Structures are given as structure tokens and as C-alpha cells.
């Protein structure tokens, strides 16, 4: 991975995860910095990764080659406008946003026609097991696109999309997906408890089954998901009865509607911020 000066505006969990992944991959710590108003966040970043921290965003951005915008969508516009108002030279900098609901047009409306890579990671990135979708504005060079991809690969897998509208599909398919799985696991755990297992036993049964199932998917890329399902569904058996019930209750349609609702909300959020 090319070595550039990277500063993170916002030193919360996602920024910590990205810095941790970079450091683990051998990135030069002296090229990494972060800015955050929280003394707790700054201290944690300094102690955990030995990187430079700032209280002033403009100071942090001044000498950076790459600026990772890692603040909440609700305050993104104010944070970006402050950099402009402070007269920071934004030329020759790559901006990478990890905030939902903030379009490239919105950022460029504040910064001007700077190169922007919009990303949508999910929370397993905190464990370097994330899934991130990325979209590059037309101002992003091939080398900057490669750099952004390498950066997000530090916390998991990546997928580039050709249309910014597809970022909302990424939100639906992976950004929000951990919550879907947690909801399903929660329902399974509660049912196991109702069947007489302790909460600890029920959780272990569910979480290990989920982990093993995901690993089977990973280790059998030549098999589609339907085949993997069929392989553990003996005709007339217990699994077949459970699958029949799911199908009768319209699980596939429910999932479809939920994902479409997530994507629609992502599009709505772009009009809010």
C-alpha cells in the first residue's frame, strides 16, 4: 500500500478500527493522525496507536494527503464548512467519507470539485471483518481509487460500485445487515430459552451455528447459497419442516421489503444532510 499522510476527522470507533487495521498491516504510524473534540477519544488514540492527535480540524487537515471524514452525518456539513471558513488549502487532497446519507454532491458543494470517495462500511469492521462499498467521484484518479480501496481493505472486504445510487443498495445489503442477523439470532435464542435452555446455552447454540454457517459459505465459493441450504435439508426431516414454515410465513418477501426500506431510507437521508 502506498504511504501517504492520512488524517481522520473524528476519532471514534470506525476511525480507531481503520487506524488499527493500517497499523496491523505495517503502515507508518508517523503518517497517521486524528482530530476530535473529545479528550477521551484523543487519549485512547494516542495510547493505543501512538498517533498524533489534534483538537483543531483545520490544523489536522493542513498537511494531510488524505482526509477521512469520520463524523456523524448530522454534523458533517458544519465540520466541512469550518475547514473552508478557516481557509485550509484543499487542493491535491483526497477526501474519503464513511458517513451514511452524505452525497458526493453535498461534499463538493462545500469543498468544491475535490476528489471524493464515498464509502459505506459496516460494524464488523471494528473486528477487521467488515464489508465496505465504495463509490469514486469523477475527480478521483486511478491511484487514489486504489489507495482508498487499500485503506478500507484494512478492515475487511470491499466492493466498488459504478453508480452512487448503489451505495444505498450497499447500505441495505451489508451496512445494515449485521442488525438483521442479530435480530434473527435474538429470535432463535429466545425460542431456545422457551424450550428450556439457559440464556447462556441458548446463545452458544445460536452464535456457534451462525459462525459455522458463515464459514461454510466462505469455504465453499463454488456452491451457491441455495445449494448449501439444500445440502442440509433432508426431505421430510426436521430442517425441511422449519424451512417450510419460513416459506409459508413469507420470509423471502419480508427480507426483500426490509432491504428495500433500508435503501429507500438511505436515499431520504441524502436529502436531510
- Give the model confidence (pLDDT) of 51-73 as tens digits: 999 999 999 999 999 999 999 99
Q: Give the pLDDT of residue 86.
A: 94
Cα–Cα distance measured from residue 166 to residue 161, given in angstroms and rounded to the nearest whole number: 6
Q: Which three cell numbers stand for residue 91?
A: 487542493
Put residue 128 in one of left, alpha, beta given phi > 0 → left and psi -120 to 50 → alpha. Answer: left
pLDDT tens per residue across span 235-270: 999 999 999 999 999 999 999 999 999 999 999 999
Alpha-carbon distance values, 209 to 202, 205, 213, 214 (Å): 11, 6, 6, 9
pLDDT tens per residue across span 154-206: 999 999 999 999 999 999 999 999 999 999 999 999 999 999 999 999 999 99
The DSSP code sequence of 186-200 is HHHHHHHHHTT--HH
pLDDT band per the 50, 70, 90 thresholds, residue 272: confident
Q: Give the pLDDT of residue 170.
A: 97
Cα–Cα distance measured from residue 177 to residue 210, given in angstroms and rounded to the nearest whole number: 14
User: Homologous superfamily of 6-167 in CATH?
Assistant: NAD(P)-binding Rossmann-like Domain (3.40.50.720)
pLDDT tens per residue across span 22-47: 999 999 999 999 999 999 999 999 99
Range(s) of the chain covered by CATH 3.40.50.720: 6-167
Q: Are 177 and 122 in contact (CB under 8 A)?
A: yes
- Does residue 7 register a pLDDT over 90? yes
* Percent residues over pLDDT 70 in the chain: 100
Instruction: Look up the CATH number of domain 177-269.
Output: 1.10.3730.10
Q: Which three cell numbers stand for residue 68?
A: 477521512
- Does residue 87 register a pLDDT over 90? yes
- Does residue 1 register a pLDDT over 90? no
Question: Residue 18's closest CA among 127, 175, 94?
Answer: 127
Cα–Cα distance measured from residue 193 to residue 200, given in angstroms and rounded to the nearest whole number: 9
pTM metric for this prediction: 0.92
Amino acid at each position: 500500500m502506498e504511504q501517504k499522510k492520512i488524517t481522520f476527522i473524528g476519532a471514534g470507533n470506525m476511525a480507531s478500527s481503520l487506524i488499527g487495521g493500517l497499523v496491523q498491516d505495517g503502515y507508518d504510524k508517523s503518517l497517521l493522525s486524528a482530530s476530535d473534540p473529545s479528550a477521551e477519544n484523543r487519549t485512547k488514540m494516542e495510547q493505543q496507536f501512538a498517533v498524533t492527535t489534534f483538537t483543531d480540524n483545520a490544523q489536522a487537515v493542513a498537511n494531510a494527503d488524505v482526509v477521512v471524514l469520520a463524523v456523524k452525518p448530522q454534523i458533517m456539513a458544519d465540520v466541512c464548512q469550518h475547514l473552508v471558513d478557516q481557509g485550509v488549502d484543499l487542493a491535491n487532497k483526497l477526501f474519503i467519507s464513511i458517513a451514511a446519507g452524505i452525497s458526493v454532491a453535498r461534499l463538493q458543494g462545500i469543498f468544491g470539485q475535490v476528489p471524493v470517495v464515498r464509502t459505506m462500511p459496516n460494524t464488523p469492521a471494528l473486528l477487521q471483518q467488515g464489508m465496505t462499498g465504495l463509490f469514486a467521484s469523477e475527480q478521483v484518479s486511478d491511484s487514489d481509487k486504489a489507495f482508498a480501496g487499500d485503506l478500507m481493505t484494512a478492515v475487511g472486504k470491499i466492493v466498488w460500485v459504478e453508480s452512487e445510487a448503489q451505495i444505498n443498495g450497499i447500505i441495505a445489503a451489508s451496512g445494515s445487515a449485521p442488525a438483521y442477523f442479530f435480530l434473527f439470532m435474538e429470535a432463535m435464542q429466545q425460542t431456545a430459552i422457551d424450550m428450556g435452555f439457559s440464556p447462556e446455552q441458548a446463545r452458544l447454540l445460536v452464535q456457534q451455528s451462525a459462525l459455522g454457517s458463515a464459514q461454510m459459505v466462505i469455504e465453499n465459493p463454488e456452491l451457491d447459497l441455495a445449494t448449501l441450504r439444500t445440502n442440509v435439508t433432508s426431505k421430510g426431516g426436521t430442517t425441511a419442516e422449519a424451512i417450510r414454515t419460513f416459506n409459508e410465513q413469507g420470509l423471502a418477501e419480508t427480507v426483500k421489503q426490509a432491504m428495500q426500506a433500508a435503501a429507500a431510507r438511505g436515499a431520504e437521508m441524502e436529502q436531510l444532510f
